[in-house]
Amino acid sequence: MKINPSIFCLIILVTLVTSACNDEFLDRIPLGELNNETYWNSESSLEIYNNGIYNEAGDNTQYYFLLGYSGAAWSSAYYGMPWEDCMSDNGAPKDPDLDRYQIIATGKYIVPSNPNNRGWKWGLLRRINFFLDNYDKTPISEEVKSQYAGEARLFRAWFYFDKVKHFGDVPWIAKPLETNSEELNASRDPRSMVMSHVLEDINYAIEHLPPQWSISEEVRFDRWVALALKARLALYEGTYQKYHNLGGDANKWFQEAANAAEELMTDGPFSLYSTGDPLNDYNHLFRQLDLGSISETIAYRKYLTGVLGHRYVGYQRAKAHGLTKDLVEDYLCTDGKPIQLSTMYKGDEDLRDVFSNRDPRLRQTALHPEDSDKYLLLKDYNTGAYPRFPGMTGAFKTTTGYTMIKYFDVSDLLKGFGNEENDAFLFRLGEVFLNFAEAKAELGTLTQDDLDKSINQLRDRVGMPHLTMDVEMDPKYTDSDLPAVLVEIRRERRIELAYEGFRYDDLMRWRMGEKLENRVLGMRIEGDIETLYPGADIKTTEVDGKKYIDVYQGSQFETRTFDPQKHYLFPIANSVIAQNPNIKQNPGW
């Protein structure tokens, strides 16, 4: 069953709990509108209460793990899973609304005065814990009650996973706090302890959530979502522990990730989306009005004109950004070899050559010069020079020459502000395949059969050669000190999940943050820029005797630093520490 948490957007009127929230340490507002003695009287009570958990978790101005294309049309300009790649080495934005990502990518982030939307916000946790402290009063069967408890504990696991990713050690709170609770002055608990509780929560959810809810066809997270979340968070924690030398049992987490992913792959009712069209299927997957009808969908965020629309496609067209040279060069040639090893690579002197004989996902993610009619169909784009850079007239500008077209859909764009309704993935089977293969490789138990039922299914969709256990090492990654097959699994992850919001987290868990210090380059340009692209506001730099767009040359983001003693975690807001001195700041901040 494909899960659509559309209670984010179907205007469910939940008046049982106050929407007021203290954004500093832990929410201290009593749940005063709920009569705790009489409320818990039926299954409907549990269902309606948990609807409020979905709604609050989907508020991107507060929390940051159910992004989609954002929770409001206006915020599509800078919130959303595709924009997350703009703070990694995948994307290169040059728009004031997207500066927030480059501030992080370039090491210019400062300690905020108050918690922001990635920050130390705990109101959702109190809502979850209040439910878990009271649901058992309901006079219905233990089995049904446990399903709703599993739903709440899935959200608590996801909430804490997000907090640990951002801050490392955090207070573990398992009960609703009041204004006089001692825990309001609690210190931070060790990451290892918190993640142990997260594992308990997600295991409980897997054990008790149904594979399909009987009360609804599509609106609730089920057992398959819990397995997908477990595979994601366990892989993250295992790699973070291993590559950051935390001294924990990384292999335990890798095994948990592999087992959860394999169970979902084997027993779940999902299959990879494919119509047998390798030149279009990958792109089509991300331009769907109803992801609930797609076999690859495990969970998604629903958008509906007149109820909750977004404007991501409009802002995608309006805001200058582009794929980086580093990302583009990671796409294999059609013989399955990297560009430094393949005789099929034609070089980058001409933009068309960059796309020639390459993994079809490249041409379905970045705009080929001959595909503007196919993907854009916009009169103001199809005139003048190509690509179109900042400073030139017209829309759909690129900072790198590699225009991002994944997600772009003209029919959705033309619906207007707040009316776009293409859906957004939260979990899809393609990610589960990648989590499985990486976990098995980290365990040292990866086999060719494992590759064939995961990575090679992704390659089959786009007609690429299979990955084998004896793959040759890409010269680009010879200094990585990793097995060649793990290098290729990581490459596959970068390509398959490009602009889905994973890359920054991946760099952090692999302890590869120093990659963010590299100059951000774009396409090759030989010749006079003003003659080739009149009015273009771009500069070039020379690399090995060739000239490439140097995206941030002369800007505030030209100097890029990454301090490994500091930047793997986010800072805690000053107001949080002022309110509770037992909360100590992260190192370096």
pLDDT value of residue 400: 98
Q: pLDDT tier at 218 (50, 70, 90 boundaries)?
A: low
SS (H, E, C) 233-256: HHHHHHHHHHHCCCCCCHHHHHHH
CA distance 108 to 307: 38
SS3 state at 323: strand
Sign, CA dihedral 237-238-239-242, equals positive
The number of angstroms, rounded, from the C-alpha of 137 to the middle of its chain's C-alpha atoms is 37
pLDDT band at 27 (very low <50, low <70, confident <90, very high): very low
Count of alpha carbons within 13 angstroms of residue 301, beta-carbon side: 26
Q: For the chain, how many residues are written?
A: 589
Cβ–Cβ < 8 Å for 426, 300: yes
For residue 92, give the nearest of 502, 365, 402, 548 by alpha carbon: 402
Q: Render pLDDT for 429-438 as a digit per residue (tens, 0 to 9).
A: 999 999 999 9
Residue 21 pLDDT: 32
> What is the average pLDDT value for the chain, to the nearest integer?
91
Which residues, 6 or more positions from 7, have their beta carbon under 8 angstroms from its beta carbon? 51, 54, 55, 219
Q: Which of 8, 2, 1 is nearest to 301 (CA)?
A: 8
420/60 Cα distance (integer angstroms): 18
Whole-number percent of the chain with pLDDT over 70: 92
DSSP string, 450-483: HHHTTHHHHHHHTTPPPP-TTPPPPGGGGGG-S-
Do the beta carbons of residue 343 and residue 358 sit within 8 Å?
no
Q: Most confidently modeled of 182-191, 193-202, 297-306, 307-316?
A: 193-202
Q: DSSP string spanning 100-147? A: HHHHHHTT-----SS--TTSS--HHHHHHHHHHHHGGGSSS-HHHHHH
pLDDT surpasses 80 at 73: yes
For the chain, the structural domain boundaries read: 6-79+117-230
Note the pLDDT tens digit of each residue in 30-50: 455 577 878 999 999 999 999
Predicted confidence at residue 385, as pLDDT, reads: 60
CB atoms within 10 A of CB 214: 8
CA distances 60 to 78, 232, 291, Å, are: 11, 20, 21
Average pLDDT rounded to a whole number, residues 274-285? 98
Predicted confidence (pLDDT) at residue 24 exceeds the cutoff of 50? no
Q: What is the per-residue pLDDT for 243? A: 98
Q: 189 pairs with which residues across the strands?
A: 170
Q: What is the largest CA-CA distance in the chain?
A: 77
The class of domain 6-79+117-230 in CATH terms is: mainly alpha
